[in-house]
Amino acid sequence: MATPASTLATNGSADGIERSPIRADVLIYLTLIALGFAAWWVSAQGWFTSWSRTGYWLGVAGGVSMILLFAYPLRKRWRVTYNWGASKHWFVAHMVLGILGPWLILLHSTLRIGSTNAAVALFSMIIVALSGVIGRFLYVRLHADLRGEKASLRSLRDAISAQHQAADTQLAGMPRVQAALHAFEQHALDMTPGQGARHLWRLFVLPLNRQRLVRSCKADIQQAVISATRREKWSKSLAMARYRSSCRQVEDYALSVQRAAQFQTFERLFSLWHVAHVPFVWIMVLCAVFHVVAVHAY
């Protein structure tokens, strides 16, 4: 017969839920790698060339997709378009076109460069596409679930307060866990001088600290639930339910603190990214226009 300790160790940890955008990021990166490999494989087959009928229309489709990318930023700036559907759907379409367009252009080029202008147009497009991936990474950390509604430091701190109260209720009787969470919050949200180093710490060290905190708290929760099970004669299902809900509370609390602490860092990075991204976009547009004119003229 399984003991409470063995049951919690084998089943409880498997139910931990990661509520961060990391999984979505990894999925997107793997998709980009797969599409890049697919473009290389198709090009290696020699089914068409960039000047063949198929290659030409692939280039047209890719160019149209790249043009349609401008619908999203224009929609945000034109008052008449504010009510043309939810911003979330526009952003998702922007991301899809931002992947589809460059991929079609890669297929069109067959990964071969025939002229200096074509080379400049292709590499500027690749830079813009990679810059877009970076922009998406920052965007989802500043907005609420891609709805286009920008978060604020105040709303994030309000979320922490709500998580704080919920944790104090859920984790009553677990003083070590509560103390660890409160210490993590105080340290993560500490606004001391030296912002440059602090930004780097929030980006690279804070997530690791959060993961260590969650693992440590889960171990403490497991011991507390085992003790309560023996003392209160809880059933195995009740013990597992208490363990899982407590672990979820710890994860939610720690993630809320991390997001609030990193908000200003990502906000600063997003503003710097935008300054660099826009010139690359216009370089790509000019090179693409020149390439199209040159192809049809000569």
Q: How many domains does the chain have?
A: 2
Q: Each residue of 65-89: pLDDT tens digit? A: 988 988 888 887 777 777 787 777 8
Q: What is the pLDDT of residue 193?
A: 54
Do you know the residue count of the chain?
298
What is the biggest distance separating any 2 CA atoms in the chain, rounded to whole angstroms?
87
Average pLDDT over the chain, rounded to an integer: 81
For 129-183, how does the pLDDT look when each residue is reduced to its tens digit (9 = 90+)? 888 888 888 887 876 544 444 555 566 667 777 777 777 777 888 999 999 999 9
Residue 232 lies in a domain: yes
Same domain, 36 and 182: no
Q: Verify that 38 and 106 share a domain, yes or no.
A: yes
Domain-embedded: residue 210: yes
Which pLDDT band, with edges at 50, 70 and 90, does 12 fall under? very low
114 lies in a domain?
A: yes
Same-domain pairing of 159 and 130: no
13 pLDDT exceeds 50? no
- Residues 264, 36 contacting (CB under 8 angstroms): no
* % of the chain beyond a pLDDT of 70: 85
Q: Tell whether the model's pLDDT for residue 103 goes beyond 70.
A: yes
| Residue-wise pLDDT tens digits, 211-228 | 999 999 999 999 999 999
- Is the same domain home to 128 and 164? no
Give yes or no for residue 37 having a pLDDT over 90.
yes
Residue 5 in this model has a pLDDT that exceeds 80? no
Residue 189 and residue 82 in one domain: no
* Angle ∠(170,175,178) on CA atoms, nearest 5: 60
Q: Residues 36, 133: one domain? A: yes
124 and 187 housed in the same domain: no
pTM: 0.68
DSSP code of 15?
A: G
Q: Do 78 and 184 belong to one domain?
A: no
In a domain, 279, yes or no: no
Write down which residue in 83, 104, 139 finishes a domain.
139
Write the CB contacts of 156 (distance below 8 Å, at least 6 apart in sequence): 256, 259, 260, 263
Q: Do the Cβ atoms of 189 and 264 come closer than 8 Å?
A: no
One domain for residues 54 and 104: yes
271 within a domain of the structure (yes/no): no
How far does CA 21 lie from the centroid of its chain? Answer: 4
Range of the domain at 217: 4-19+152-264
100, 203: one domain: no
* Mean pLDDT in residue range 224-253: 92
**Angle subtended at Cα 71 by Cα 268 and Cα 146, rounded to the nearest 5 degrees:** 50
Residue in 251, 254, 257 with CA at minimum distance from that of residue 189: 257
Judgement on whether residues 29 and 134 belong to the same structural domain of the protein: yes
| Terminal Cα distance for the chain, rounded | 81
Residue type, 244: R
Q: Determine the pLDDT at residue 242.
A: 92
